[in-house]
Amino acid sequence: MAVTLNRNDGTVNFVFEGRMDTIKCMSAEKDVVENINENDQVVFDLKEVDYIASSFLRLCGRASNTVGVENFSVINVSPSVKKVFKIAGLANRLNIK
């Protein structure tokens, strides 16, 4: 898997590492899509991520659309990564911490 996944009581925590560039996101997308369903709470943990491409935004969109925006959050976001969410107009539309 391109990401580490922890599932606990309906919460699925995906821990990403390093550069989430296009190629890595393509690989991670399959892992995310196959491991969540509409009743889950989904958390993307970016503690170890210092770079995201626009494909990561698409990944967030897919997860958010599956479980609902209120059940999706992105945590441990660095300033450089948050900048990309801001450019996309998503910094205030997703639960980003």
Partner 1 sequence: MKRIKKKATFENLEEVLQFVKVGAKAFGFDKAAIADLILAVEEVLVNIISYAYTDQCKSGYMEVRYKNNNSSYSITFLDTGKKFDPTAVSEPDTSIPINQRRMGGMGIHIVRNIVDNLQYKREGGKNIFTIEKKK
> What residue spans of 1-97 are helical by DSSP H?
22-34, 54-67, 79-87
Residue 80 found at the interface with partner 1 (CB under 8 A): yes
The CB-of-87 to partner 1 minimum distance in angstroms stands at 5
The CB-of-72 to partner 1 minimum distance in angstroms stands at 9
By CB under 8 A, the residues from 16 to 45 that bind partner 1 are 21-23
Residue 65 found at the interface with partner 1 (CB under 8 A): yes
Residue 64 found at the interface with partner 1 (CB under 8 A): yes
**b/e map of 29-41 (b: 16 or more CB within 10 Å)?**
bebbeeebeeebb
CB atoms within 10 A of CB 43: 20
